[in-house]
Amino acid sequence: MELWHIRGGKRLEGACFVQGSKNASLPILAASILAPLRCELHNVPQLRDVDAALRILRHLGCLAEQRGNDVYIDSSTLSGCSIPHSLMEEMRSSVIFMGALIARCGEARLSLPGGCQLGKRPIDLHLSALRQLGAEIEEDGMDICCRRAELKGAEITLPFPSVGATENAMLAACAAKGTTTIRGAAREPEIEALQEFLRSAGAEISGAGGGTIRIEGFHPNARSVCRIIPDRIVASTIACAAAAAGGDVELRGIDPRHFSTLLYFLNKAGCDIISSNRSVRVRSRGKLRAVGEVVTEPYPGFPTDAQPVLMAAMLRAEGKTVMRETIFENRFRQVPELRRLGADITSSGQTAEIWGVDCLHGAALTATDLRGGAAMIVAGLAARGETVICDDGHVTRGYEHFDMRLRALGADIYLDF
Ligand code: EPU
């Protein structure tokens, strides 16, 4: 069990580099097995989920090691195509190995993935995309077995721009004969990052970042080098912490366009946002104002992953904020915990209403999931007195050295293991 100890009420000041993106790293780690490749990945965050992906790679017979923020993989030694449930259940992204394995081995045996409990998280769109490429898939509620005689290029239209289904389709399509077009694809920066990696590995792929991706062939290179993009949700979390606790923080290395909707709301709340090419300064100017209605949407809309941390920043803002969650059915699990700090929030179905209060007070909380736990840290930094968050390892799945990063900005926060 991990315990976050926070003494709130300290302003956050200074500059920090934003860690590499978890959600960009994980599909790229899965993609490293598409062909016998030697990969060098830089700026990979040291996280539990990254560690879980490396253990899957080793289980499959690859050489995979992390040194600091560099990861070295040799997938030429790959010798298996099945992943046991104990590894699958550690995180959601384990499911992306399905597309990569079927592309490389013609077979994948795995089970349903784990990850945060955010409501139903089916993989029907992943399976449908792979079937359209020619994979034969058997599933019995828990175990999945995919085979293909030969994958063939296809016209795939996703009825919803699922991030994971887009990634699985991109990977499997690399092994398909002929051209694959994925319409209605997810447009997240992490999808563009995966495209960059696939290009460096030898794929002819274009269109990521727009709604239509084309994969025309794959002539594997022996070696691929790639730098992981900065994490837009970690940047959003630190920006919300600066807004909630008061402060003046410069986030370095991040493209402001990757979290522009969050910056829009912080600006609406009364913060100064000073953006340049590769950095953003967030400066709070006293009491925040409520931002009205916030609706989560697929990228480029407001991200569901930033909803809990913006909610935390709004707890002391003057007026009413309404959050409407449209991506996951259960993403308000932090609400009862935030109420323990004195927050005035109600949630019903997919809507939460927050009335800003003058003051939050420290309390003992329990982290419910990754971003919910991060929201509790943001709120704890803005509360008077001590907050202790009991966390079963949720936050460290996605935030690297988060206590140290916040301490460097002046926060009084410690993590006990
Ligand atoms: N969905 C289906 N069927 C599918 C796939 C998805 O109904 O086959 C539904 C899901 O149930 C959900 C919605 O579509 O309601 C969005 O799911 P999506 O597939 O887009 O999300 P994901 O790939 O499971 C990734 C991130 C999440 C992030 C979402 C949305 C990774 C590893 N995870 O999940 O990140 O919230 O996209 O942007 O990339 C996090 O980092 O805390 C996190 C949960």
Q: Integer distance in angstroms from the first to the last C-alpha of the chain?
A: 6
Taking the C-alpha atoms of residue 140 and residue 350, their distance in angstroms, rounded to an integer, is 31
- For residue 156, the model assigns a pLDDT of 98
Residue minimizing CA distance to atom 24 of ligand 1: 164
**Omega before 300 within 30 of 0, i.e. cis:** yes
Q: Nearest CA to 213 among 238, 231, 192?
A: 192
Residue to probe by mutation, ligand 1, list 163, 261, 326, 328, most atoms within 8 Å of CB: 163
Taking the C-alpha atoms of residue 276 and residue 15, their distance in angstroms, rounded to an integer, is 14
For 266-319, give the DSSP string.
Answer: HHHTT-EEEEETTEEEEE--SS-B--EEEEB-STTSB-GGGHHHHHHHGGGSBS
394: its two tokens: 């949720």
**pTM of this structure:** 0.98
- For residue 27, the model assigns a pLDDT of 98
- For residue 168, the model assigns a pLDDT of 98
Taking the C-alpha atoms of residue 415 and residue 395, their distance in angstroms, rounded to an integer, is 11
- Ligand 1 and 28: CB distance under 6 A: no
Residue minimizing CA distance to atom 35 of ligand 1: 305
pLDDT along the chain (417 residues), means of 10: 96 97 98 97 97 97 98 98 93 93 96 78 94 94 89 98 98 97 98 98 98 96 96 98 98 97 98 95 95 98 98 98 96 97 97 98 97 98 98 96 98 96
> Quick count: other Cβ atoms within 10 Å of Cβ 160?
10
Q: Going by DSSP bridges, is the β-strand pair 272-276/223-227 parallel, antiparallel, or unpaired?
A: unpaired
Ligand 1 mean position, distance from CA 117 (Å):
11
Ligand 1 mean position, distance from CA 10 (Å):
34
Contact predicate 398/391, CB 8 Å: no
DSSP-assigned beta bridge partners for residue 7? 386, 412
Active site residues: 116
- For residue 114, the model assigns a pLDDT of 79
